Amino acid sequence: MQSAPEIRDALVSLFAAMKRGDNEAITKMLSSHEGMLAIGTAPGEWWTGIATFAPVFERQLKEAGGGFDVTPGDPVGFRSGDVGWAADRPRLALPDGSTLPFRFTAVFELEAGAWKIVQWHASLDVGNEESFGREFTA
């Protein structure tokens, strides 16, 4: 496995497209493979395939006021051959001016010379005490 700035940059480009509300650009970043998977932060947010996910995410961008104001944290990207992954702890700006930290990971595959997302997963930073009623060793 090796560091892959091009994959890190692809993740940053995804966040920029989210901020602009540019679903067309986001859709172009997604793999057309039927196994493409997007997992969001809410319990029902689990979509398989670009045809299922792209229209839903487009609606969500509109519902969010035209985009999600995501600011990258310290993204990283790595690859092994034609597969790579990126991860970050970005922040989402909310309408009241506060920010919401979350986690984001994505798996990429090199398809026709371009890095395409085959899987993404977003999760909110929720402590163990809130989730499990107790703390665990970190």
Instruction: Please state whether beta strands 91-93 and 70-71 pair in parallel, antiparallel, or not at all (unpaired).
Output: antiparallel
2-125 is classed CATH 3.60.21.10: no
Provide the token pair at 8.
């890190």
Q: pTM score, two decimals?
A: 0.92
Q: What is the pLDDT of residues 35-85, one digit of tens each?
A: 999 999 999 999 999 999 999 999 999 999 999 999 999 999 999 999 999
What stretch of H or E contains 5? Answer: helix 5-20
Q: What is the mean pLDDT of the chain?
A: 94
**Would you place residue 126 in the very low, low, confident or very high pLDDT band (cuts 50, 70, 90)?**
confident
Determine the average pLDDT of the residues in 132-136. Answer: 80
CA-based nearest residue to 10, from 77, 55, 59: 77
Q: Facing residues of 48 across strands? A: 37
Q: Which residue has the tokens 């985009």?
A: 67
**Which amino acid is residue 35, in one-letter code?**
G
Torsion sign (Cα): 131, 39, 109, 11: negative
Looking at residue 75, its pLDDT comes to: 98
Residue 50: per-residue pLDDT: 96
* Distance spanning both ends of the chain, measured CA to CA: 26
| pLDDT-derived band at 137, boundaries 50, 70, 90 | confident
